[in-house]
Amino acid sequence: MTTSGHGGAVATQDDNYDPYSAYGRENSSNIVGKMLKFSKGDYSVGDNEIEAGGKYIASMPNILVGWIRWEDQKPAETIMGLIVEGHRPQKRDTLGFDDKSEWPTDKDGKPMDVWQETQYLVLKDTTDDELYTFVTNSAGGRGAITKLVTSFGQKRRMNPGKLPIITLAVDSYKHKDPAYGKIKVPEFKIIGWVDQAEFDGVEPSESADTTKEAARQIQGMADAKNGGGAEASSTTERPRF
């Protein structure tokens, strides 16, 4: 038995489990392909909007879930693991750093939790094989990934050795505070299946520039999320392979 991350759910490992490889994956710091985000109803990569409706292959075995702790506007501590290895994010009250007087504040002076629950989903564009990592710590973004995982879990036995083809969609709900009105959230609809071999050989980017750019975008999205109140996707930078 081994514990994913620093306190997530305990996952049973087979005889092929290598703790050294697992540690290396746990501490990888690179985005796979380009970072995809969702904010205020739009998907985008950098400053470029990505049209909804596009078809992508979702790499389900590489979905990461967990927590990122921020310090001085940078990721300082990462507690994440793969769903396929049985990792589950631990409860926030087990993470420490609970003194709100020591948290940074948003533009309205409200304290911002230094821990952000975060998820990663790696995608491949079906038209040009471009790779993307959708990363989110918003409730709407995490909900979209959870719904995708649930649907995949229900259908995968009828599609052994397959990965889902999803389309980027947009859903919405009414915010409990009427001042915010209707909030748009991402949605990943399964529309087909392909062989899992489509992701054979996929490796994280080793570009330092990519990592720096990801960190810059991550902080920008975190600022937008904590300052705006509406649905926005804030991210961190670490899919594992």
Q: Which two tokens stand for residue 33?
A: 């392909």
Residue-wise pLDDT tens digits, 74-100: 888 888 888 888 889 999 999 999 999
Residue-wise pLDDT tens digits, 212-239: 444 454 445 555 544 443 343 333 333 3
Cα 122 to Cα 147: distance, rounded to the nearest angstrom = 16
**CB neighbours of 3 closer than 8 A, spacing ≥ 6?**
10, 11
Q: Which residue ranges make up each domain of the chain?
A: 2-228
Q: pLDDT band for 167, please (50, 70, 90 cuts).
A: very high
Q: pLDDT band for 163, please (50, 70, 90 cuts).
A: very high
Q: Which residue has the higher pLDDT, 32 or 141?
A: 141
Q: What is the pLDDT of residue 99?
A: 94
The number of beta carbons lying within 10 Å of the beta carbon of residue 94 is 10
48 backbone dihedrals φ, ψ, rounded to 5° = -100, 125
Q: Please say if the pLDDT value at position 141 is more than 90.
A: yes
H-state helical runs in 9-50: 19-26
Q: What is the pLDDT of residue 201?
A: 66
Burial label, 22 (beta-carbon count in 10 A; 0-12, 13-18, 19+): middle
Instruction: Classify 7 in phi/psi space as left (phi over 0), alpha (psi -120 to 50) or beta.
Output: left
Burial label, 135 (beta-carbon count in 10 A; 0-12, 13-18, 19+): buried
Nearest to 165 by CA among 59, 58, 36: 58
State the DSSP code for 92.
G
% pLDDT > 90, the chain: 44
**Number of alpha helices (DSSP H) and beta strands (DSSP E) in the chain:** 3, 12
Q: Please say if the pLDDT value at position 9 is more than 70.
A: no
Mean pLDDT of the 12-22 span:
43
By mean pLDDT, which of 103-107, 158-162, 222-226 is the weakest? 222-226
Residue-wise pLDDT tens digits, 21-54: 443 344 344 478 888 999 889 999 988 999 999 9
Q: Which two tokens stand for residue 126?
A: 């079906």
Cα 166 to Cα 174: distance, rounded to the nearest angstrom = 25
pTM confidence score: 0.72
Q: Please say if the pLDDT value at position 175 is more than 60.
A: yes
Q: What is the pLDDT of residue 223?
A: 52
Instruction: Classify 181 in phi/psi space as left (phi over 0), alpha (psi -120 to 50) or beta.
Output: left
Q: What is the pLDDT of residue 209?
A: 40
Q: Please say if the pLDDT value at position 10 is more than 80.
A: no
Mean pLDDT of the 62-83 span:
87
Q: What is the pLDDT of residue 77?
A: 87
